[in-house]
Amino acid sequence: MKKRYKCKQCYAINIDNYDFCVSCGAPLKRPKSTLFRVVFQVLGLMGFYLGLQTLFGVIVTIPVVYRNINSIEIVDGLAIFSHFSDAILIAATLSALIFIAIVGIYYYRRRHSVKPLYRFDQIRFSHIFWASVMGFGCIFLSQIIINVSEAVGILNMESMEGFEELMALMFGQSPVWLILLAVGIVAPIAEELLFRGLIFHLLNRHLNIKVALILQGVLFGLFHMNLVQGVYASVLGVVLGIAYILTGSLWVPIVIHIVNNSVAIFLPEAWMNEPVLYAFLLSLMLLVPLGVWALYRTNSKKFILDLNA
Protein backbone atom coordinates (compact mmCIF):
# COMPACT_ATOMS: atom_id res chain seq x y z
CA MET A 1 0.00 0.00 0.00
CA LYS A 2 1.26 3.48 -0.85
CA LYS A 3 2.22 5.66 2.08
CA ARG A 4 0.81 9.14 2.45
CA TYR A 5 2.48 12.13 4.04
CA LYS A 6 0.84 15.41 4.95
CA CYS A 7 2.74 18.60 4.18
CA LYS A 8 3.09 20.84 7.25
CA GLN A 9 3.03 23.96 5.09
CA CYS A 10 0.06 23.56 2.72
CA TYR A 11 -1.56 20.41 4.23
CA ALA A 12 -1.44 18.60 0.88
CA ILE A 13 -1.37 14.80 0.99
CA ASN A 14 1.65 13.42 -0.85
CA ILE A 15 1.65 9.83 -2.09
CA ASP A 16 4.75 7.67 -2.61
CA ASN A 17 8.20 8.39 -1.26
CA TYR A 18 8.54 12.04 -2.22
CA ASP A 19 11.19 14.09 -0.44
CA PHE A 20 9.41 17.37 -1.21
CA CYS A 21 5.74 18.34 -1.35
CA VAL A 22 4.39 18.15 -4.91
CA SER A 23 2.17 21.16 -4.20
CA CYS A 24 4.39 23.74 -2.50
CA GLY A 25 7.85 22.17 -2.64
CA ALA A 26 8.40 22.15 1.12
CA PRO A 27 10.50 19.26 2.52
CA LEU A 28 8.42 16.44 3.94
CA LYS A 29 8.88 15.25 7.49
CA ARG A 30 7.74 11.68 7.73
CA PRO A 31 6.08 10.73 11.02
CA LYS A 32 7.52 7.93 13.12
CA SER A 33 5.55 5.19 14.87
CA THR A 34 2.67 5.60 12.44
CA LEU A 35 0.40 2.98 14.03
CA PHE A 36 0.87 4.46 17.50
CA ARG A 37 0.11 7.95 16.17
CA VAL A 38 -3.11 6.78 14.52
CA VAL A 39 -4.30 4.95 17.63
CA PHE A 40 -3.45 7.95 19.79
CA GLN A 41 -5.26 10.35 17.45
CA VAL A 42 -8.39 8.19 17.15
CA LEU A 43 -8.68 7.59 20.88
CA GLY A 44 -7.91 11.25 21.52
CA LEU A 45 -10.74 12.39 19.23
CA MET A 46 -13.23 10.03 20.85
CA GLY A 47 -12.04 11.07 24.31
CA PHE A 48 -12.34 14.73 23.39
CA TYR A 49 -15.98 14.35 22.36
CA LEU A 50 -16.78 12.27 25.43
CA GLY A 51 -15.01 14.89 27.53
CA LEU A 52 -17.22 17.61 26.06
CA GLN A 53 -20.30 15.55 26.91
CA THR A 54 -19.08 15.01 30.45
CA LEU A 55 -18.15 18.67 30.93
CA PHE A 56 -21.50 19.98 29.75
CA GLY A 57 -23.25 17.20 31.65
CA VAL A 58 -21.72 18.56 34.87
CA ILE A 59 -22.32 22.20 33.95
CA VAL A 60 -25.99 21.63 33.12
CA THR A 61 -26.77 19.06 35.80
CA ILE A 62 -25.42 20.89 38.88
CA PRO A 63 -27.88 23.82 38.76
CA VAL A 64 -30.76 21.46 37.93
CA VAL A 65 -29.87 19.24 40.90
CA TYR A 66 -29.67 22.30 43.14
CA ARG A 67 -33.14 23.41 42.12
CA ASN A 68 -34.59 19.89 42.53
CA ILE A 69 -32.61 18.69 45.54
CA ASN A 70 -35.73 17.43 47.31
CA SER A 71 -36.86 15.25 44.42
CA ILE A 72 -33.71 13.12 44.02
CA GLU A 73 -34.25 9.35 43.99
CA ILE A 74 -31.72 6.54 43.60
CA VAL A 75 -32.70 4.07 40.86
CA ASP A 76 -30.27 1.20 40.20
CA GLY A 77 -27.43 3.28 41.63
CA LEU A 78 -28.29 6.28 39.45
CA ALA A 79 -29.46 9.55 40.98
CA ILE A 80 -32.71 10.54 39.28
CA PHE A 81 -34.38 13.91 39.83
CA SER A 82 -36.98 16.13 38.21
CA HIS A 83 -35.92 17.25 34.72
CA PHE A 84 -33.11 14.68 34.75
CA SER A 85 -33.73 13.68 31.13
CA ASP A 86 -33.97 17.34 30.07
CA ALA A 87 -30.56 18.06 31.60
CA ILE A 88 -28.98 15.06 29.85
CA LEU A 89 -30.42 16.04 26.46
CA ILE A 90 -29.46 19.69 26.81
CA ALA A 91 -25.92 18.69 27.76
CA ALA A 92 -25.73 16.32 24.77
CA THR A 93 -27.00 19.06 22.45
CA LEU A 94 -24.57 21.68 23.71
CA SER A 95 -21.56 19.35 23.55
CA ALA A 96 -22.47 18.28 20.01
CA LEU A 97 -22.94 21.89 18.88
CA ILE A 98 -19.56 22.87 20.33
CA PHE A 99 -17.91 19.93 18.57
CA ILE A 100 -19.59 20.85 15.28
CA ALA A 101 -18.42 24.47 15.70
CA ILE A 102 -14.83 23.36 16.37
CA VAL A 103 -14.86 21.10 13.32
CA GLY A 104 -16.43 23.87 11.23
CA ILE A 105 -13.71 26.34 12.22
CA TYR A 106 -11.01 23.75 11.53
CA TYR A 107 -12.51 22.90 8.15
CA TYR A 108 -12.82 26.58 7.22
CA ARG A 109 -9.19 27.26 8.09
CA ARG A 110 -8.06 24.24 6.02
CA ARG A 111 -10.47 24.89 3.13
CA HIS A 112 -7.60 25.68 0.75
CA SER A 113 -5.66 22.49 1.46
CA VAL A 114 -5.33 20.12 -1.47
CA LYS A 115 -6.70 17.09 0.39
CA PRO A 116 -8.99 18.16 3.24
CA LEU A 117 -9.92 15.68 5.97
CA TYR A 118 -13.59 16.08 5.18
CA ARG A 119 -15.21 15.45 1.83
CA PHE A 120 -18.46 17.22 1.02
CA ASP A 121 -18.64 16.35 -2.68
CA GLN A 122 -21.69 17.72 -4.42
CA ILE A 123 -24.72 15.45 -4.08
CA ARG A 124 -27.84 15.13 -6.21
CA PHE A 125 -31.47 14.79 -5.22
CA SER A 126 -31.21 11.05 -5.89
CA HIS A 127 -28.51 10.79 -3.22
CA ILE A 128 -30.76 12.52 -0.67
CA PHE A 129 -33.71 10.30 -1.62
CA TRP A 130 -31.83 7.03 -1.33
CA ALA A 131 -30.09 8.18 1.83
CA SER A 132 -33.54 8.80 3.35
CA VAL A 133 -34.68 5.36 2.21
CA MET A 134 -31.60 3.76 3.77
CA GLY A 135 -32.11 5.69 7.01
CA PHE A 136 -35.66 4.35 7.26
CA GLY A 137 -34.52 0.81 6.49
CA CYS A 138 -31.73 0.99 9.08
CA ILE A 139 -34.35 1.14 11.84
CA PHE A 140 -35.56 -2.34 10.96
CA LEU A 141 -32.06 -3.61 10.22
CA SER A 142 -31.20 -2.66 13.81
CA GLN A 143 -34.14 -4.69 15.10
CA ILE A 144 -33.06 -7.71 13.06
CA ILE A 145 -29.55 -7.43 14.49
CA ILE A 146 -30.98 -7.28 18.01
CA ASN A 147 -33.15 -10.35 17.36
CA VAL A 148 -30.23 -12.33 15.95
CA SER A 149 -28.00 -11.25 18.85
CA GLU A 150 -30.60 -12.48 21.32
CA ALA A 151 -30.93 -15.79 19.45
CA VAL A 152 -27.18 -16.48 19.53
CA GLY A 153 -26.80 -15.37 23.16
CA ILE A 154 -24.92 -12.10 22.69
CA LEU A 155 -27.85 -10.24 24.26
CA ASN A 156 -30.06 -11.58 27.02
CA MET A 157 -33.24 -10.49 28.76
CA GLU A 158 -31.33 -8.68 31.47
CA SER A 159 -29.35 -6.56 29.02
CA MET A 160 -32.49 -5.71 27.05
CA GLU A 161 -34.43 -4.72 30.18
CA GLY A 162 -31.51 -2.62 31.37
CA PHE A 163 -31.34 -0.84 28.02
CA GLU A 164 -35.08 -0.14 28.01
CA GLU A 165 -34.91 1.24 31.55
CA LEU A 166 -31.97 3.45 30.62
CA MET A 167 -33.81 4.85 27.59
CA ALA A 168 -36.93 5.45 29.69
CA LEU A 169 -34.93 7.31 32.34
CA MET A 170 -33.07 9.44 29.81
CA PHE A 171 -35.90 10.30 27.42
CA GLY A 172 -39.18 9.32 29.04
CA GLN A 173 -40.03 12.68 30.62
CA SER A 174 -38.57 15.05 28.03
CA PRO A 175 -40.56 16.93 25.37
CA VAL A 176 -40.47 15.43 21.90
CA TRP A 177 -38.92 18.53 20.34
CA LEU A 178 -35.93 18.33 22.68
CA ILE A 179 -35.41 14.61 21.99
CA LEU A 180 -35.69 15.27 18.25
CA LEU A 181 -33.20 18.12 18.41
CA ALA A 182 -30.64 16.28 20.53
CA VAL A 183 -30.94 12.69 19.29
CA GLY A 184 -32.45 13.16 15.86
CA ILE A 185 -30.52 16.11 14.44
CA VAL A 186 -27.54 17.50 16.36
CA ALA A 187 -25.97 14.25 17.62
CA PRO A 188 -26.03 12.53 14.18
CA ILE A 189 -24.23 15.47 12.57
CA ALA A 190 -21.54 15.54 15.25
CA GLU A 191 -21.07 11.75 15.18
CA GLU A 192 -20.75 11.67 11.40
CA LEU A 193 -18.14 14.42 11.47
CA LEU A 194 -16.24 12.45 14.10
CA PHE A 195 -16.48 8.88 12.77
CA ARG A 196 -17.09 9.01 9.01
CA GLY A 197 -15.08 12.21 8.81
CA LEU A 198 -12.02 12.40 11.03
CA ILE A 199 -11.65 8.81 12.27
CA PHE A 200 -12.40 7.11 8.95
CA HIS A 201 -9.90 9.35 7.17
CA LEU A 202 -7.20 8.80 9.78
CA LEU A 203 -7.62 5.03 9.56
CA ASN A 204 -7.78 5.08 5.76
CA ARG A 205 -4.50 6.96 5.52
CA HIS A 206 -2.60 4.07 7.06
CA LEU A 207 -4.83 1.01 6.56
CA ASN A 208 -6.61 -0.72 3.72
CA ILE A 209 -9.98 0.98 3.25
CA LYS A 210 -11.89 -2.26 3.98
CA VAL A 211 -10.10 -2.61 7.31
CA ALA A 212 -10.66 1.08 8.04
CA LEU A 213 -14.35 0.69 7.19
CA ILE A 214 -14.83 -2.14 9.68
CA LEU A 215 -12.73 -0.51 12.41
CA GLN A 216 -14.59 2.80 12.30
CA GLY A 217 -17.87 0.86 12.51
CA VAL A 218 -16.69 -1.08 15.57
CA LEU A 219 -15.45 2.13 17.21
CA PHE A 220 -18.82 3.73 16.48
CA GLY A 221 -20.52 0.86 18.30
CA LEU A 222 -18.16 1.03 21.28
CA PHE A 223 -18.72 4.78 21.49
CA HIS A 224 -22.35 4.19 22.56
CA MET A 225 -21.05 2.45 25.71
CA ASN A 226 -23.87 -0.05 26.13
CA LEU A 227 -24.09 -3.57 24.73
CA VAL A 228 -27.45 -3.32 22.98
CA GLN A 229 -26.68 -0.16 21.04
CA GLY A 230 -23.09 -1.25 20.53
CA VAL A 231 -24.12 -4.41 18.68
CA TYR A 232 -26.32 -2.79 16.05
CA ALA A 233 -24.47 0.54 15.91
CA SER A 234 -21.31 -1.29 14.80
CA VAL A 235 -23.15 -2.68 11.77
CA LEU A 236 -24.84 0.65 11.06
CA GLY A 237 -21.44 2.34 11.26
CA VAL A 238 -20.23 0.11 8.43
CA VAL A 239 -23.37 0.88 6.39
CA LEU A 240 -22.82 4.61 6.89
CA GLY A 241 -19.18 4.21 5.87
CA ILE A 242 -20.20 2.39 2.67
CA ALA A 243 -22.60 5.22 1.82
CA TYR A 244 -19.72 7.65 2.32
CA ILE A 245 -17.25 5.89 0.05
CA LEU A 246 -19.95 5.41 -2.60
CA THR A 247 -20.68 9.12 -2.85
CA GLY A 248 -17.60 10.87 -1.47
CA SER A 249 -19.82 13.20 0.54
CA LEU A 250 -20.48 13.30 4.28
CA TRP A 251 -23.92 14.73 3.56
CA VAL A 252 -25.15 11.24 2.61
CA PRO A 253 -24.34 9.44 5.91
CA ILE A 254 -25.54 12.54 7.78
CA VAL A 255 -28.95 12.27 6.08
CA ILE A 256 -29.10 8.51 6.74
CA HIS A 257 -28.24 9.00 10.40
CA ILE A 258 -30.72 11.85 10.91
CA VAL A 259 -33.59 9.95 9.26
CA ASN A 260 -32.80 6.78 11.22
CA ASN A 261 -32.73 8.51 14.61
CA SER A 262 -35.62 10.88 13.95
CA VAL A 263 -38.07 8.29 12.63
CA ALA A 264 -37.16 5.86 15.42
CA ILE A 265 -38.26 8.48 17.97
CA PHE A 266 -41.80 8.56 16.57
CA LEU A 267 -42.10 4.87 15.71
CA PRO A 268 -44.74 3.32 18.03
CA GLU A 269 -43.83 0.22 20.00
CA ALA A 270 -47.27 -1.32 19.39
CA TRP A 271 -46.11 -2.80 16.08
CA MET A 272 -43.90 -5.22 18.02
CA ASN A 273 -47.03 -7.01 19.33
CA GLU A 274 -48.56 -7.68 15.90
CA PRO A 275 -46.80 -10.71 14.31
CA VAL A 276 -47.94 -10.01 10.73
CA LEU A 277 -47.16 -6.29 10.92
CA TYR A 278 -43.92 -7.07 12.72
CA ALA A 279 -42.77 -9.42 9.94
CA PHE A 280 -43.73 -6.90 7.25
CA LEU A 281 -41.90 -4.04 8.91
CA LEU A 282 -38.78 -6.11 9.47
CA SER A 283 -38.75 -6.91 5.76
CA LEU A 284 -38.20 -3.18 5.22
CA MET A 285 -34.58 -3.80 6.21
CA LEU A 286 -34.18 -4.73 2.53
CA LEU A 287 -34.34 -0.99 1.85
CA VAL A 288 -30.74 -0.81 3.10
CA PRO A 289 -29.13 -3.04 0.44
CA LEU A 290 -31.50 -1.50 -2.12
CA GLY A 291 -30.21 1.96 -1.18
CA VAL A 292 -26.59 0.79 -1.37
CA TRP A 293 -27.22 -0.62 -4.84
CA ALA A 294 -28.92 2.62 -5.92
CA LEU A 295 -26.03 4.77 -4.67
CA TYR A 296 -23.64 2.42 -6.47
CA ARG A 297 -25.61 2.92 -9.69
CA THR A 298 -25.75 6.70 -9.32
CA ASN A 299 -21.97 6.73 -8.89
CA SER A 300 -21.52 5.06 -12.32
CA LYS A 301 -20.97 1.69 -10.61
CA LYS A 302 -17.71 2.86 -9.03
CA PHE A 303 -16.51 2.79 -5.44
CA ILE A 304 -14.34 5.61 -4.15
CA LEU A 305 -11.76 3.18 -2.78
CA ASP A 306 -9.50 5.91 -1.43
CA LEU A 307 -11.11 8.72 0.56
CA ASN A 308 -7.87 10.66 0.34
CA ALA A 309 -7.69 10.47 -3.43
Over the stretch 16-63, which tens digit does the pLDDT of each residue have? 555 666 666 666 655 554 677 888 889 999 999 999 999 998 888 777
Helices 287-298 and 227-247, interaxial angle, to 10°?
Answer: 20
Q: Is the pLDDT of residue 271 over 90?
A: no
* pLDDT score of 161: 80
User: Are 18 and 171 in contact, with CB atoms under 8 Å apart?
Assistant: no
* pLDDT score of 47: 94
Q: Which range, 70-74, 159-163, 239-243, is most confident?
A: 239-243
| Separation CA 40–CA 246 (nearest Å) | 28
Q: Is the pLDDT of residue 221 over 80?
A: yes
pTM: 0.82
The domain spans of the chain are: 1-30, 34-118, 119-167+200-309
Q: Is the pLDDT of residue 81 over 60?
A: no
Rounded mean pLDDT, 70-88: 62
Rounded mean pLDDT, 182-208: 90
